[in-house]
A and B are shown apart, each in its own frame.
Chain A
Amino acid sequence: MCLAIPTLITSISEDQVAKIEIGGIERAISLIFTPEARVGDYALIHSGYAIGILAPEEAEETLRLLREMEEAAEAEEAAAEAEYADALARVEHSDLPKVGNETA
């Protein structure tokens, strides 16, 4: 019942009523709780009312933080792989007896 969907406001008429499109169907929704709404904003629509206006900069910030986490983890993995390759090369070039399947 608390379902709410971010939807583009395409026009606003007098009396705080906006037009939106959901799944190809045009509907009128009330902006009574979000008088700050403007055409082009995305409103969070709950049972015919906009209960909030989405904050684009906050959405971008959330995604930026997640991508940073992704990049940091990738760099960490790349570093670990390089280190492993390096260690492997050192073992291969050393005079130590090789261990592994080939000795069986």
Chain B
Amino acid sequence: MKYIDEFRDPKLARRLIAHIKRRATEPMRFMEFCGGHTHAIMRYGLRQLLPANIKMLSGPGCPVCVTSCTDLDRAIALARIPGVILTTFGDMLRVPGSDGTLSGAKAEGADVRMVYSTLDAVQCARDNPDRPVIFLGIGFETTAPTVAASILQAERAGIHNYYVFSLHKLTPPAMRAILDGGEVALSGILGPGHVTTIIGSQAWAFLPEEYGMPCAVAGFESLDILRAVAMLTDMLVEGRPAVANAYPRCVSREGNPNAQEMMYRVFQATPADWRGIGTLPESGLGLREEFDHRDAALVFPIEIGPSHEPKGCRCGDVLRGALSPTECPLFANRCTPTSPLGPCMVSSEGACAAYFTYREYKDDH
């Protein structure tokens, strides 16, 4: 497929690896922010191909995984309101809250429907005018504009029964929190390619400017990731941290202005609760006041009991890069993709799911 196959050329990949091996003379620890990168790195065997002194750490870039247990419990409680149709992306269905999952609620009679797009959620509201249809808004800057667009579409078309429960989160504040925490020593950041398609590479300028940390924004094919690692290595060796763009076919400095405009027309930055990190100011997206009538959190008051994380689950540590999935005592015994205990094993972007899927490949570092 165009723009995919040519960025998987093994000959060029070997050359990039040789370049990285030659330049990386000291230990380097890079965090791939994005869960999509964790999966791509495992799928292409890049951890094994990179020299042993380069360590890749998974970050918090999995929206499903960073959703807090309390927020999950609230989503499940919304789904249980009689008459409500809760629409959601498929990834959320099997994530365990304090007491069950959305798919468990569905089995008990709640009307939970998986959608591919917010366009389908709005259509569902149109098709069911007598019932409230709530869309579970999970996702980073890549997804939030599509949810904003759905709200504006519902406004325009006069669809009164469409609501959003917004748990959207912003990526730069989480990156800052991890660096400020100082728990994990890092030498560079592999920037998320599709988040940055929206917010623009300039959004990461604080990394070199305030933290002296190089950042290379990467796409999701093997050459994209290796090129970004080569750029990070070069910046470190040459002592000139900056934001490098290893994904220029999709990412620009400014990002997508239309998507940004629509996202901030509907949402504003609010505090948000991150699993493993805690509450961070200005790190979530809540609906603006003029859309209060679409805000499921205001329209449908719910009460939930005290939330509790799955017992023994270390997803929080995995999300901060403080624990490798395989170091979790539950990994691949009590917690597997078929019966997951924590969100990182459920989501197709979760680090634990990636390590589980590709676990037969020997990993020395």
Contacts and interface: CB of A to CB of B under 8 A. Distances in A.
A4 B146 CA distance: 13
A93 B14 CA distance: 37
A1 B143 contact: yes
B89 interface: yes
Interface string B26-38: 0000000011100
Interface of A: 1-4, 6, 8, 28, 30, 32-35, 42, 44, 46-49, 51-52, 54-56, 58-59, 61-63, 66-67, 69-70, 73
B73 to A, nearest CB: 20
Interface in B63-86: 63-64
Given A1-B138, A47-B89, A47-B117, A42 B3 contact: yes
Contact of B256 (A34, A47, A59, A63): A34
A48 B194 CA distance: 14
Contact of B227 (A55, A59, A66): A66
Nearest to A71: B15
B118 A73 contact: no
Given A1-B62, A33-B259, A34-B256, A54 B15 contact: no
B149 A30 contact: yes
Given A66-B15, A69-B19, A70-B12, A2 B143 contact: yes
Nearest to B15: A70
A58 B249 contact: yes
A66 B61 CA distance: 28
Interface string B230-272: 0000000000000000101110000010110010000000000
Contacts, number: 130
Contact of B119 (A42, A48, A58): A48
26 contacts: A1-B64, A1-B89, A1-B139, A2-B34, A2-B36, A2-B142, A3-B348, A6-B3, A30-B149, A33-B259, A42-B3, A44-B194, A46-B142, A47-B143, A48-B117, A48-B118, A51-B146, A51-B198, A55-B250, A59-B249, A62-B223, A62-B227, A63-B6, A63-B12, A69-B19, A70-B11
A26 B61 CA distance: 30
A97 B183 CA distance: 61
Nearest to B145: A33
B256 A52 contact: yes
A3 B139 CA distance: 11
Contacts of A58: 248-249
Interface residues of B, number: 54
A49 B34 CA distance: 20
Q: Of B11, B142, B193, B246, which is in contact with the most chain A CB atoms at under 10 Å from its CB?
A: B142
Given A47-B146, A59-B3, A66-B227, A34 B258 contact: yes
A53 to B, nearest CB: 9
Contact of B146 (A8, A48, A73): A48
A32 B266 CA distance: 15
Nearest to B11: A70
B291 to A, nearest CB: 17
